[in-house]
């Protein structure tokens, strides 16, 4: 079973086997990629990777819950480039920690940051 986190209702979420389900948390960024690529390149790649994983594993016996892509990342080395958005390192760390802690609080044991 492969599901998208944001598409489940609370009642559906309660039925998820939280002990054996892998929660995949894709990480993106909004940062410069030179003059040739969009600011959201990393987010586009993370989204495409989730689509690819879902397609490749659709016939497998695996419990996978796809979390929404986190669109802003840790891009301090790009902050001087117009359009780049970044969290401070500790803000980014705390945001990821809080997401993982929330998932663990609800019983999820297997978390993957992509």
Distance CA 91, CA 101 (A): 15
Spell out the domains of the chain, with CATH numbers in brackets: 2-113 (3.40.50.10310)
Encode pLDDT of 67-78 as tens digits. 999 999 999 999
Residue 59: pLDDT above 90? no
Residues 78, 27: contact at Cβ < 8 Å? no
Please state, in angstroms and rounded to a whole number, the distance separating the CA atoms of residues 3 and 76. 33
Average pLDDT of the residues of the chain: 95
Exposed (0-12), middle (13-18) or buried (19+): which is 67, by Cβ within 10 Å? Answer: buried
Which percentage of the chain shows pLDDT scores above 90?
92
pTM above 0.95, yes or no: no
Q: Where are the strands (E) in the chain, listed by range?
A: 2-4, 22-25, 64-66, 110-113
């Amino acid at each position: 079973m492969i599901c998208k986190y944001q598409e489940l209702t609370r009642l559906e979420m309660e039925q998820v086997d939280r002990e054996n389900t892998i929660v995949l948390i894709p990480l993106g960024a909004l940062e410069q990629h030179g003059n040739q690529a969009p600011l959201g390149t990393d987010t586009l790649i993370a989204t495409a990777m989730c689509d690819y994983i879902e397609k490749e594993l659709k016939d497998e016996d695996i419990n996978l819950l796809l979390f929404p892509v986190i669109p802003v990342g840790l891009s301090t080395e790009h902050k001087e480039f117009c359009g780049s958005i970044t969290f401070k390192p500790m803000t980014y760390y705390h945001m990821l920690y809080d997401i993982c802690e929330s998932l663990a609080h609800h019983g999820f044991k297997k978390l993957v940051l992509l």
